A and B are shown apart, each in its own frame.
Chain A
Amino acid sequence: MEYRNVLTTCPYCGTGCNLHLQVLDGKLAGVLPAKGHVIADGGLCIKGWNAHAFVHDPDRLKTPLIRKNGELVEATWDEALALVSELMGQVKTQHGADSIGILASAKCTNEENYVLQKFARAVIGTNNVDHCARL
């Protein structure tokens, strides 16, 4: 018998509300708000209240999918990343770095978005970086 709470940050937007994930016998069982937290102070929106729901959902993707002969096939991260790097390398060689654009996400942390723009500018060599919150 196990019940504990894990304090974490809501994955749904960049606001940074903290919440507790309730763990019952090793599985996520629900969300509790985090009273006294500097941003949310015990409140959550409807997304935060359901932040646990996708984790054990049977429809959740757990591996990358690569389209082979028109069908999406499960693949390893190594395979998927190697394919992306190969194809993006080809595009860059044939059409130049500015033919590539990068879209960041509001669901990521500042640090992750920082790394992504760094990747766009320093690795690929383009300033084509945008963000879904601006759409």
Chain B
Amino acid sequence: MSDRLSALRQAVERILPEVEGLVALKQGPAGILAPHLYQPSQATELELLALWPKYPVPDTIKMLQKAHPGAKLAVVCRGCEERGLVEMAKHAQIDLANVQLIGLQCTAEEATFCRCAKPFTVHATVTVGEKIEGAADPLTEAFLAKSQEERLAFWKEQFLHCIKCYGCRNICPQCFCNVCALEDGTWVETGRLPMPLPPMYHLVRAMHMTAKCVACRECEETCPAGIPMAIQFRLMARDVQEMFGYETGAVIEQKPPQLLVLEEGEYAKTGLPH
């Protein structure tokens, strides 16, 4: 067992008796992991506690809280998952007060794999592993070096690969609308491949991720066509930061811009067209 895994296990063993259930990854058949609810009565299952690859655990918490409101839970979360939980709480999807966060700081290899700018938790009071600096994002840098025309050509080409599996929407912990605009025939014609307007699906989803995307990159990872869609989310997060001073997951008390009513004059400050 690696030092990191044994440190995580110690932290989990300490917290498990204090809660009704703890969500963390579990080793499964053929070395394939999945999220799991560890329970105090079955602590021996912790033998199978695992670290990587990561899974969207904020969704698991949401599912559990919906079925068991008020249950005292704990979760092992990475930086992106902590951000996901915070944003879900702001949109009334989960109750953060009933979730004990165990922060798992990512390694340099993991951060490089995810092109992650913030591979660490900031709210969790219990943390495991050393906090490291963010990794570079060579894909976004390469994209920024392109001209406007090249960028348009890049996305048109990328979106043509889409097989319309809806996986990016399904796996996204921040996609939680009861009625999904992407199932509206106006944007995405059902029952036809290739879709009539390949970019529309992705651009509609991108707009809906404004000030919501927490850069977990689960969408990219699950995409069977390998579309590097996190590039657009990263750049939109940059714009939201510049225009509204908002960063997902950073400040629990700060409301996201789409939940705010702009005061007079504030709209002009965004630099958006009238």
- Give the docked Cα–Cα distance between A29 and B26 (Å): 18
Q: Which one, B56, B64, B224, contacts A43 given CB within 8 A?
A: B224
The reply to whether A33 and B67 contact each other, CB–CB distance below 8 Å, is no
- Give the docked Cα–Cα distance between A20 and B30 (Å): 13
Residues of B within 8 A of A42 (CB): 53, 221-222
- Give the docked Cα–Cα distance between A33 and B21 (Å): 23
How distant is A17 from chain B, measured CB to nearest CB, in Å? 9
Residues of B within 8 A of A29 (CB): 63
Q: Which one, B71, B167, B221, contacts A1 given CB within 8 A?
A: B71
- The segment from A44-52, A56-64, A88-96, A100-108 that touches chain B is A44-52
Q: How large is the interface on B (under 10, 10 to 19, 20 to 34, 35 or more residues)?
A: 35 or more
Decide yes or no whether B192 CB sits under 8 A from chain A. Answer: no
Indicate whether A1 sits within 8 Å of B37 (C-beta atoms), given known contacts A43-B224, A44-B224: yes
B1-35 residues at the A interface, CB under 8 angstroms: 20-21, 23, 26, 28-35
Q: Which one, A32, A44, A48, contacts B34 given CB within 8 A?
A: A32
The reply to whether A46 and B166 contact each other, CB–CB distance below 8 Å, is yes
A8-40 residues at the B interface, CB under 8 angstroms: 18, 20, 22, 24-25, 29-37, 40
The reply to whether B53 and A35 contact each other, CB–CB distance below 8 Å, is yes
Q: How many of A's residues come within 8 Å of B, CB to CB? A: 28
- Give the docked Cα–Cα distance between A22 and B67 (Å): 14
Indicate whether A7 sits within 8 Å of B30 (C-beta atoms), given known contacts A46-B165, A49-B167: yes
- Give the docked Cα–Cα distance between A37 and B223 (Å): 14
Question: Which of A36, A42, A44, A46 has most B Cβ within 10 Å?
Answer: A42
Decide yes or no whether B117 CB sits under 8 A from chain A. Answer: no
Residues of B within 8 A of A45 (CB): 163, 165, 224
Indicate whether A5 sits within 8 Å of B34 (C-beta atoms), given known contacts A44-B222, A45-B224: yes
Residues of A within 8 A of B171 (CB): 32-33
Closest to B56 in A: A32
B169-226 residues at the A interface, CB under 8 angstroms: 170-171, 221-224
Residues of B within 8 A of A24 (CB): 63-64, 67
Indicate whether A49 sits within 8 Å of B63 (C-beta atoms), given known contacts A7-B32, A32-B35, A43-B223: no
- Give the docked Cα–Cα distance between A35 and B25 (Å): 12
Decide yes or no whether B274 CB sits under 8 A from chain A. Answer: no
Show 19 A/B contacts (Cβ-Cβ < 8 Å), sorted by A.
A1-B21, A1-B37, A1-B68, A1-B71, A5-B26, A18-B32, A22-B63, A32-B34, A33-B222, A35-B221, A37-B32, A40-B224, A43-B224, A44-B224, A45-B165, A45-B224, A46-B163, A49-B166, A49-B167
Which residues of B pack against A, CB within 8 Å? Answer: 20-21, 23, 26, 28-37, 39, 53, 55-56, 60, 63-64, 67-68, 71, 163-167, 170-171, 221-224
Pairs of residues from A and B, 3 with the lowest C-beta to C-beta distance, nearest first? A5-B34, A43-B224, A3-B37
Which residues of A pack against B, CB within 8 Å? Answer: 1-5, 7, 18, 20, 22, 24-25, 29-37, 40, 42-46, 48-49
Given contacts A37-B30, A46-B164, 15 further A-B contacts (CB under 8 A): A1-B21, A1-B37, A2-B37, A3-B35, A3-B36, A5-B34, A5-B35, A7-B32, A20-B28, A20-B34, A25-B67, A33-B222, A42-B222, A43-B222, A44-B165
